[in-house]
Structure 1
Amino acid sequence: MMNGWIISAAAEIFWREENKMAEARSLEEIKLDYAWKFGCGRYIQQREALETLPEEIKRLGDKPLIIAGPRAWEATEGRIEKALREAGIEYVLSVYPDQNTYEKAREHASQAVSSGCDVIVGVGGGRIMDQAKASAYFAGEMTKARSGHFPVVQVPTSIATCAAFAPLSVMYTQEGASLGSLRHNFEVNAIVVDLDVIVKEPARYVASGILDGMAKMVEMQNGHDNITIEEFDVGLVTAFTLAKYTMETYRKRGVQAVEDVRAGKLTKEVEDITYLNIAVAGVISGCSKGFGQTALGHECYELIRTHFTQEAKDFIHGEIVAVGQSMQLSFNGQEDQIPALREMMNSFDMPLTLKDIGIEPTEENVETLYQDLYHSPFVKDCPEEAEKLRKAMKWLCE
């Protein structure tokens, strides 16, 4: 067992070897990088942003390895190829449809080194963003790069997560079970967000990113009424302040943004939510060193990906995180906020319960989740917290 995740002994040994900052049973035992990393060197968000990609690559190197998801590569409609060709930039392309695994990250790193590439470009959703960062890390390790990594340029084609920005890679087995996070000691160098691409993505991804962003404030509280400078680290208080602002903005503008994307309309609401989902959410993660902004909701996501990999395979990150948010609110003593949360989720046609994501809420299944949540760093080992967690978990089932 590892941070509540049950995996094979071999996989656990491999994960612990790769991830020097593995999570522990208590928050006090968790060892994070002593440096804050706030996001990326350059963030570009505009229409026709893909045409700026050659310039961003040239700032960092000469020949990129492009790692792209198949649907994401199609969504760029040949514009990246055209821009690179016109700029005279030679590149290597890997269209990769599968999980973000350690094995594939090492393969991509080896491919980059052997083909003379010196920049990694990710084009796609969250898993490709994480694969690009992990590949850059291993390429740096292979070449003993002074920086410790190859430069990274991210081209997110979805705003479902802040993975383009966050200084970590969420890693999986080939089957899709979670192996936790590989935490990086570097930021990405540039992020290029093309709004003409974003407005054409399924509205489901926009909604997912909104709920994932809203989860940050709720999970930071994790059993507390508030996060104050007198009690908490200044970085976490800063992250919480930003998360509170984003929560207010999501509530005011989120529903309209989703409706606009459904209609294929690029509006100010879509632009604003894009910025919040990627850039601001990434800064929040950086302010909390990539850990303090998550708690029970994200832990529930990791457990579902591991214990119920096949049952929940058709659901994306933010949808599963959102299922855990009613539980998190209850654990925080904020059950009065659950109706408004679920009203918004219903307006987005999002799942609300375990059953909605293909998991039968049997006594055995719920107990499996309970035991691992209770033994996670986010619940104190005492009868009061145990009872509070059991009460909160009813929201996973109703």
Structure 2
Amino acid sequence: MTMNLTLRPAPQEYLCQEGAYAQLPGKLAERFIKKVLILHGENAYRVAAPFLPEFGNIEVITVQFNGECSDIEITRLLTLFKAAQADAIIGLGGGKVMDTAKAVGFRSGYVPVILLPTMASNCAAWTPLSVLYTEDGSSTGFEVYAQQTALLLVEPRVVIDSPIAFFIAGIADTLAKWYEADAILSQVEQPSLALDLCRYAAQQCHDIPLALAQQAVTDMRDKNPSYAWLKVMETNIMAGGLVGGFGDDYGRTAAAHPIHDALTARTETHVFLHGFKVAYGVLVQLALEDKWSEITKLAPFYEQFKLPQTLADLNLSELNDDALLTIAQRACAPGESIHFLASPVTPERVVDTIKALESFQQQAN
């Protein structure tokens, strides 16, 4: 497969502190924005409202997100955005809201995109891409944008009140960045400086969660914005995005995310958050790489946060070989990043590996 290395490291401006939202009017004025559309999640606006400022002379239009970053939803919002003749779009909510706002901004002709994530469940607020889904929640791939987000504001007081399950999903998704990037970067004999920075960011995606996630989750339950919680929260949002920002194809995904994408075709998995399905994909990738000792090493971490380790943990215990092959064929479709692994991967090999992983986990328990 052809590997790209175009650097899009970060949003143009990033602020994470109490009172971050209060700077919105000034930041919009600096960008000559006079009318803005706010796309928000169902509960996000209510949660964020106490921290949002008065916008003064800036006209604000609010629109509720319909739930999926799909072509249908993007088209609906694009029509509303153009009819309103807005100068910019603000995404307020979770990862799919972030991705939809970015897609609308791109398809509107690269208007400024401002993102206000209300949870730390992934790096969507950082990355210049959108993961796309069908209306029923099946992943259809992603599109990468040439322009970064204009402004990213994180208000810790909002994020700490978000559901803990989303925070844990973010931790799992962040951890995957290390394993996927390492699988690719280990094949590069003479990495550029950009790839060195990519590897450093990926290493933080491993080291920080393993060291601080337990304390961070405890502190989040206590509504305590401690050092540990802030560090893990920013790692979820920032570090994962930096891996792809500096590494492009070398640091974005390997096998774990294609396994996730294939799993989304099974409606039984729709009750599980993105990061939980990616966590299972990490184990499949490690098994494909014959890194069984690493799976054993991760087991306590997975058990602590109730991350899926078997098909049964994903409501898929009844899958037969044909169903497994369908999942594997989708994960191994031409152009998928699973083919970035060092050894060739076929659908049949993925099926055999999933079965081997099932046996390994049964023996471990």
1:338 corresponds to which of 272, 288, 295: 295
Give the match for residue 7 of structure 1: none
- Residue 304, structure 1, aligned to residue 274, structure 2: no
Secondary structure at the residue paired with 1:170? Answer: strand
The residue type paired with residue 334 of structure 1 is K
Q: How far has the Cα of 1:377 moved from its partner?
A: 4.3
Q: Distance in 2 between matches of 1:160 and 1:395?
A: 30
Establish whether residue 371 from structure 1 lines up as the match of residue 345 from structure 2.
no
> Relative to 1, partners in 2 of residues 1:396 and 1:57: Cα closer, same or farther, differing over 3 Å?
farther
**Which amino acid is 1:359 matched to?**
L
Q: CA deviation at 1:179?
A: 1.4
Partner of 1:256: 215
Cα pair 1:221 1:332 within 8 Å, conserved: no
Residue 37 of structure 2 is aligned to residue 65 of structure 1:
yes
Q: Does 1:236 align with 2:195?
A: yes
Amino acid at match of 1:246: C
Distance 1:84 1:393 in 2: 53
- CA separation of 1:69 and 1:230: change in aligned 2, threshold 3 A: same
Distance between the aligned counterparts of 1:347 and 1:128, measured in 2?
29
SS of 1:37 mapped into structure 2 = coil
| Root mean square deviation of aligned Cα | 2.4
Do residues 102 (structure 1) and 71 (structure 2) align? Answer: yes
Partner of 1:393: 354
Count of residue pairs brought into register by the alignment: 354
Are residues 65 and 257 of structure 1, via their aligned partners in 2, closer, same or farther at CA, if it must alter by over 3 Å? same
Deviations 1:190-239 (A, max 9, x none): 111000011111211111111111111111233x7x62752555533431
The equivalences for 1:178-189 within 5 A come to: 178-189=139-150
Match of 2:102 in 1: 133
Aligned to 1:119: 88
Q: What is the TM-score when the length of structure 1 is the normalising length?
A: 0.82
Q: Give the residue type in structure 2 aligned to 1:367.
A: L
Structure 2: 5+ residue stretches without partners: none
Q: Deviations over 1:170-201 (max 9, x none)?
A: 11111111110011111001111000011111
Aligned to 2:17: 46
Superposition pairs of residues 317-356 of structure 1, within 5 angstroms: 317-356=274-313
Secondary structure at the counterpart of residue 261 of structure 2: helix
User: Could you tell me which residue of structure 1 aligns to residue 170 of structure 2?
Assistant: 209
CA contact 1:110–1:139 (8 Å) conserved in 2 = no
Deviation at 1:374, TM superposition (A): 3.9
Cα deviation for residue 344 of structure 1 reads 1.0
Is the alpha carbon distance of 1:352 and 1:330 closer, same or farther for their aligned partners in structure 2, counting shifts above 3 Å? same
Give the secondary structure class of the aligned counterpart of 1:182: strand
In the alignment, residue 24 of structure 2 is paired with which amino acid? L
* Equivalent residues of 1:113, 1:139 under 8 A apart: yes
Distance 2:149 2:62 in 1: 19
Q: Tell me what 2:226 maps to.
A: 267
Question: 1:240-299 deviations in whole A, cap 9, x for unaligned?
Answer: 222113311211111111111122211111111111111121111111226633111100
Q: Does 1:286 align with 2:242?
A: no
Shift of the alpha carbon at 1:137? 0.9
Quickly say closer, same or farther: Cα 1:377–1:129, change in 2 above 3 A: closer
Give percent identity, aligned residues only.
24
Tell me the distance in 2 between the aligned counterparts of 1:365 and 1:236.
Answer: 38
Task: Report the 3-state secondary structure (helix = DSSP H, G, I; strand = E; otherwise coil) of the residue aligned with 1:122.
Answer: strand
3-state SS of the aligned residue for 1:379? helix
Q: CA–CA distance in 1 between the matches of 2:192 and 2:139?
A: 29
Check the 8 A contact 2:258/2:331 in 1, yes or no. yes
